[in-house]
Amino acid sequence: MRRILIEADKCKGCKNCSVACMKAHVPEGTVFSLSDPQFESRNTILLDSEEKCRPLFCRHCDKPACVNSCMSGALVKNPDGHVLYDRDKCAQCFMCVMNCPFGVLKPDRATGTYVVKCDFCALHGGEPSCVKNCPTEAIYVKEVE
């Protein structure tokens, strides 16, 4: 499968990836604004205790705990390996949020009715916008087994 690999030490915390993610998920007919809470990034950057940047991106895990905890069938591991989320199927139990061992998932900020989840930019040819916008190549796509 194709995965976004991370070289955390190259991350400069510029948040280009987060802005790119937001912009890649603007619903049709909506005007993007960095001030509008409806726009959220699927990725984020955490700091460790030494204040080093630690990018947090959905790994589309080989054994996804989120999929295992989904009781509505909204989260599915696709044949190509990506874990996709169907907002219409989701019953908003947020068991996936609790069970992601890395704390990647979250309910959406504006309405609290769906899960903010990386879709590998399925609507953009499966080429992740975050990767395209990283100025230091701290993230890049690679085929992995």
Backbone angles phi, psi at 62, to 5 degrees: -60, -40
Q: What is the DSSP letter of 26?
A: P
Question: Applying CB under 8 A, does 72 fall inside the site for another protein?
Answer: yes
Could you say which of 53, 84, 114, 132 contacts another protein (CB under 8 A)? 53
Question: Applying CB under 8 A, does 121 fall inside the site for another protein?
Answer: no
Spell out the residues 6+ positions from residue 36 whose beta carbon is closer than 8 angstroms to its own. none
Could you say which of 78, 87, 112, 122 contacts another protein (CB under 8 A)? 112
Spell out the residues 6+ positions from residue 8 whose beta carbon is closer than 8 angstroms to its own. 52, 53, 54, 55, 138
Distance CA 129, CA 113 (A): 24
Question: Applying CB under 8 A, does 12 fall inside the site for another protein?
Answer: yes
Question: Applying CB under 8 A, does 91 fall inside the site for another protein?
Answer: yes
Name the one range near another protein by CB under 8 A: 22-30, 31-39, 117-125, 133-141.
Answer: 133-141
Name the one range near another protein by CB under 8 A: 20-28, 29-37, 88-96, 117-125.
Answer: 88-96
Q: Which residues of 112-145 are buried (b: 16+ CB within 10 A; e: fewer)?
A: eebbbbbbbbeeeeeebbbbebbeeebbebeeee
Could you say which of 21, 61, 83, 130 contacts another protein (CB under 8 A)? 61
Give Cα 137 to chain centroid, integer Å: 17
Question: Applying CB under 8 A, does 102 fall inside the site for another protein?
Answer: yes
Report the nearest approach of another protein to the CB of residue 16 (Å): 9
Distance CA 42, CA 60 (A): 12
Task: Give me the residues that bind another protein (CB under 8 A), please.
Answer: 3-6, 8, 12-15, 44-49, 53-54, 56, 59, 61-62, 65, 68-73, 76, 89, 91-95, 97-107, 109, 112, 135-137, 142, 144-145
